Amino acid sequence: MDSDDEQLLRGRIYGADHDHPGPKPGRSYAELVGGPLDGLLLDITGWRPEEINDGVSLATELGQFGPGGRALYNPRPGDPARWE
């Protein structure tokens, strides 16, 4: 992925409709940092604390091994709004 691709992903919601990729009012988001989904936002609205603490495995076509991969993200210690 080059810098143009990275800029395209910044501020977009993971799994969102391409016509409405940005954040919506009244929703809670975690920023994904590092890894293949760096810069995307993950909608965690309504997640219970234990679900947030467990982190998440997200499907991605951008991984090191090509399409069909998974990226694991967990809340960053001391900064739960950013998941790495």
pLDDT digits (tens, 9 = 90+) for 2-59: 454 444 456 799 888 777 778 889 999 999 998 889 999 999 999 999 999 999 999 8
pTM for this prediction: 0.79
Tell whether the model's pLDDT for residue 74 goes beyond 50.
yes
Q: Which residues contact 40 (CB under 8 A, 6 or more apart)?
A: 9, 10, 12, 13, 14, 31, 32
Contact 55, 83 (CB under 8 A): yes
Contact 38, 32 (CB under 8 A): yes
- Residue 18: its pLDDT value, please? 73
